[in-house]
Amino acid sequence: MTDLWNEALQGLQPRLGQETYDLWLRPLTVAAVEGQTIRLRAPSLFMKEWFENHYMEAVLDEIEARTDSRYVLDLEVDPNANELQSGHTADRSAATADRGAQTNADSRTPSTPSTFATPAPPTAHIEVRKVAPPPVGLSERYRFDSFISGASNELAASAARAAADQPGTRFNPLLIYGGVGLGKTHLLHAVGHSLYESDPTRRITYLSAERFMNEFISAVRYNQFDQFRRKYREDCDVLLIDDIQFIAGRDRTMDEFFHVFNALYEAGKQIMVTSDRTPSDMQSMEDRITSRLNWGLVADIKSPDLETRVAILRQKAENDRIAIADDVCVYLAGQVQSNVRELEGALVRVATFADLKGVPITTGFIREVIGETTKERRRTPVTVEAVQKAVASHFSVRIADLKGPRRHKGISRPRMIAMFLARELTGSSFPEIGLRFGGKDHSTVINACKRITALSDEDPELRSAVNQLREHLSSL
């Protein structure tokens, strides 16, 4: 019988995702089976209720699909568990007073089920239903206090702080847009942490637009639309969606997002999204969505200036215990200007090499490490035209099509690959590559690069095509 339970859970796992499975299903144990009733033990009342409200139906369906009969799941809280929320008193003032302790205990370990079984401090009296689960998916590193403000990101950072201080008011919705690696995701997570910490009863939902789409599709497919709707329209006080531009052109997902937006907005819930472009530049995004995204505040992030880059490097060096002198920091910040992610990457690379060689980080050493890649590039000057030619011949498409507007997959895939390789191999900027592909916007190129990076992870055929082309082009 326990086997049936395990099998059912295994069957559900791909649909629910590893995280949900580990967090909410795996901690349950089978206590007994009596006829058609399976008695389960949950480590806490909170987990019992969460399971009942969110996953019970799916598990029952799964069991039914396997046995052809309808079981009943009867959950009890494990009597041996030390409940964090054992006191059931609904004393609001005590709840408020205890929030500090609660926050520290929970938010530091967002997806660890054992959090809920942590022994309670003797004074903790928090009403169970009021405390929301810690937001899932937020990186511990991305907080306001680790975000360095400068002229390039000041507006975005203060808007994010304001939204975190007064959610659901003037800064609702908040849209932060800007190029790759400039701190959009960082701010989104920071808002999530801050809102949860200032009030752990807030139900905070954070996810990428891509994940939103996938969940929506599987909800429709597996007849779990009610659950989806509840999760996003009702059981949510703050919705944080990363890279919203992803849903542009995906009609049903846009439609669903529109309804989610309306439901939350009308209920005064805070919505924050990031994007790599302004709402008006989101081609094929429905007007009714872009107009709503413009209702609140739209703030941009630009590439950081030298001072900000230096400050970011200093912070990173300190966190990672990298010894680097101030003037060397300034030199490195001068070398890598495009975005923060590359800047941090360069520091880590230099530090790793220095460590391996057992030498200190000096400007000369940086020149050696970073200069080498530049030299290598010079030896093999790949042009955008050469990339286009190679890609066109590999996929048997015309160069004119790569530069043209057609969106057919047979054309758009090779086009994205060509843009991706052009970026990687020629050192040309995004706008420059856009120009050479028939005058496309730089954001199209950015998007193509992101797509190919993501697709390479999932699609071995695509990965091998990209590798072959890269090798071929580098050997020219």
Q: Provide the total of helices (H) and of strands (E) in the chain, helices listed first.
A: 22, 8
- Choose which of 51, 147, 246, 257 interacts with ligand ADP (CB under 6 A): 147
Q: Does 430 bind ligand ADP (CB under 6 A)?
A: no
Q: Applying CB under 6 A, which part among 142-150, 199-207, 214-222, 277-285 lies near ligand ADP?
A: 142-150
Residues that bind ligand ADP (rule: CB under 6 A) add up to a total of 17
User: Least Å distance between CB 228 and ligand ADP?
Assistant: 25
Q: In this structure, what are the phi and psi dihedrals at residue 75, rounded to the nearest 5 degrees?
A: -100, 140
How many angstroms separate the CA atoms of 124 and 112, rounded? Answer: 20
- Residues 250 and 283: beta-carbon distance below 8 Å: no
What mask of x and - would describe binding to Mg ion in positions 158 to 197, judged by CB under 5 A?
A: --------------------------xx------------
For residue 161, give Cα distances in angstroms to 122, 151, 206, 464.
34, 16, 17, 44
The three-class DSSP label of residue 377 is helix
- Residues 120 and 85: beta-carbon distance below 8 Å: yes
Q: Does 181 bind ligand ADP (CB under 6 A)?
A: yes
The amino acid occupying position 360 is P
Q: Does 182 bind ligand ADP (CB under 6 A)?
A: yes
Q: Applying CB under 6 A, which part among 27-35, 102-110, 144-152, 203-211 lies near ligand ADP?
A: 144-152
Q: Taking CB within 5 to 8 Å according to partner kind, which of ligand ADP, Mg ion, none is near residue 181?
A: ligand ADP
Q: Does 344 bind ligand ADP (CB under 6 A)?
A: yes
Q: Does 185 bind ligand ADP (CB under 6 A)?
A: yes
Q: Taking CB within 5 to 8 Å according to partner kind, which of ligand ADP, Mg ion, none is near residue 30?
A: none
User: Least Å distance between CB 179 and ligand ADP?
Assistant: 7
Of residues 152 through 171, those in contact with ligand ADP by CB under 6 A are 153
- Choose which of 33, 60, 162, 180 interacts with ligand ADP (CB under 6 A): 180
Helix (H) or strand (E) holding 124: none
User: Least Å distance between CB 341 and ligand ADP?
Assistant: 4
The three-class DSSP label of residue 244 is helix
In DSSP notation, 71-122 reads -EEEEEE-TT---TT------HHHHHHTHHHHHHHHHTSTT-GGGGGSPPPT
Partners of 204 in beta bridges:
238
How many angstroms separate the CA atoms of 476 and 473, rounded? Answer: 5
Q: Does 101 bind ligand ADP (CB under 6 A)?
A: no
Binding site for ligand ADP (CB under 6 A): 142, 146-148, 153, 178, 180-186, 312, 340-341, 344
Binding site for Mg ion (CB under 5 A): 184-185
